[in-house]
Chains A and B, each alone.
Chain A
Amino acid sequence: MILVTLRQAVRDLSSQRLRTALTTFGIVWGTVSICLLLAFGEGLHGQIYRNSAGLGENIVIVWPARTSRAWQGVGRGRPIRVRPGDLDAVRREARSVRTLSAEMSRDMRLVAAGRTLSVPTHGVEPAFGALRNLIPERGGRFLDPLDERRRRRVAFLGDELARELFGSSDPVGEAIRLDGSPFLVVGVLRAKEQDSSYSGRDEAKAFIPLSTFSAVTGQRLVDNFVLKAADSGATPAAKNEVRRLLARRLRFDPADDQALAMWDTTEMFQFLDGFMVAFRTFLGIVGSLTLLVGGIGVSNIMNVVVEERTREIGIKMALGATPGAVLRQMMLETVLITLVGGALGLAIATTICAAFPSLGLTEYVGDPVVSPGVAGATAALLGAVALVAGWFPARAAARLDPVVAMKTE
């Protein structure tokens, strides 16, 4: 009986090819839009997150600046000078700070493999690697505490820089010269996405131990430092604590928020999370509305179908079709249209998503993914649309009075 009903549904639908095609198109369109919107939302979210994480997750970057208030007899506008020893004190005393690394930088003349380049070189402490997501390529390592303590002349190279110098051969173990001093390459950065930075992208830099940097250049002042709170919720407390401790040591007003410039990337992540929730909700609603419009189309069509077939339904009822059988028949047709349209739409969306990476826009908007979540949400919505769209016309059909229905022309 089910098979017969199905066959009849297919026959009914194919006897109205154009109308069926248009209705199916509505559902295909709705499915493709909702699927793509969700998939792009998901891809974009992942990409922004990856890009932002390139700088480091939930870190705060601090630059010593100038005082904006007079304090203890000294006028405003005094530059703040931070030495590595001040940061050791912060490390010791600030309980809400988990890790911290000082950073010094200047451009150095790098000679390697017969080439000479001017390279931004950064003196950093071992914690810097984890803070800033500087993950070594296989076979290498980041700077370690022994390098720092012994002022070793070792260097960690950005991937772009390493490629420029050594091409495809592995630079680990190679000797380079920085401002004339020989250095050993101990590691190369594993390529990463990074869309925000404060002194250029890491891929083009060379990193050496802070102590070595000081010894080679004679620089005693820290250009900036990077820290991470004990947990991301404690970041505001950590910032306050650092400001208070340094204010005491370096004698500036703890309420002077200009003395230290801070970039709190957790704010960006928070904003990003909030933004993405809103963005995806928006995309979801737009997609759902599109699908809803498709559903209304189907419902309309089914209404017309019922109207056009009133006489036929009346005849079938006279011959013994129960109201339930009529209801099932009409519902089945709606479900068929939705099923076919939904499957087509999903296939098209998946194809578009699969083809997308070849457009080369991945870095900016990420790759859309038809994840199980996206497919599930789409399927659930489609199902709901089919049920609602089909129900009312089908019920109207089942409630027809056969006597009246048979007289309809």
Chain B
Amino acid sequence: MNAREERETPLIRLRDVRKVYRSGRIEVEALRGIDLDVRRREFAAVVGPSGSGKSTLMNLLGCLDTPTAGSYELSGENVAGLDRRRLARIRNRRIGFVFQSFNLLPAITAFENVEMPLLFSGTGRTARRRRVEQLLERVGLADRGHHRPTELSGGQMQRVAIARALAMDPDLLLADEPTGNLDTRSGSDIMGLFEELWEQGATIVVVTHDPALARRCRRVIEMRDGRIIADRAPAAA
């Protein structure tokens, strides 16, 4: 595909996506037909009350889960029917996750945490080292590489997590309540970091129910009861 097509093909393209959870004899329809396009270089927020299906949507977008019905194309490739091994590779190469609770491994250093996705991809040792140093520098923690997560503040931990998410230079950065466990100032810092990344060309989708956070995004997708009920168009469009 040429540059023009690539620009016009949405990075994310969901068509009539449904997700049904079954627990015993009870079926819960978490997503009831989602159509959604996200183009490259968008900065979108998914908002909605808890139980609205935004976490489920996030898991599907991140290839952590597969839809019960419907299609999901990630840069033109249908990923709805892939097996666990293929999904793992896609998560490794094309998606970067930032979680509310950071999800850093406590037993290893910040450096090693950032290194993790590179290890799974089979990147060579020297390249890994250089990349991790560069990433820690990027998030302003060049001197914290040898610290364990417990020795860092919440804001610093989230920065490490963002560095880790960027390790494989993913197509899509997915953040799930990235400021939920941070005080206002650290939260604002993290949001600022996201904005910087967006300005440098990243595609970012943030799941949140913090209206202040949503306001800083360029597009807000509002969900309720497994459906998209509002989608304020990207300001840039």
Interface residue ranges, A against B (CB under 8 Å): 1, 4, 11-12, 15, 311-312, 315-325, 401-403, 406
Contacts and interface: CB of A to CB of B under 8 A. Distances in A.
Contacts, number: 58
B178 interface: no
B65 interface: yes
Nearest to A4: B119
B50 to A, nearest CB: 14
Consensus secondary structure, chain A interface? helix
Given A319-B91, A403-B59, A11 B108 contact: yes
B120 A319 contact: yes
Interface residues of B, number: 25
B24 interface: no
A319 B123 CA distance: 14
Given A323-B85, A403-B65, A318 B122 contact: no
Consensus secondary structure, chain B interface? helix
Given A318-B91, A318-B97, A1 B64 contact: no
Given A318-B97, A318-B103, A402 B64 contact: yes
A317 B64 CA distance: 9
B62 interface: yes
A406 B99 contact: yes
B152 interface: no
A402 B60 CA distance: 12
A312 B105 CA distance: 7
A401 B59 CA distance: 11
B67 to A, nearest CB: 13
A311 B99 CA distance: 13
Contacts of A1: 119, 122
Interface in B107-150: 107-108, 116-117, 119-122
Given A319-B120, A403-B64, 6 more contacts: A1-B119, A11-B107, A315-B103, A315-B105, A318-B62, A319-B117
A319 B64 contact: no
B62 to A, nearest CB: 7
Nearest to A325: B120
B97 to A, nearest CB: 5
Nearest to B122: A1
Interface in B53-111: 59, 62, 64-65, 84-85, 88-89, 91-93, 97, 99, 103, 105, 107-108
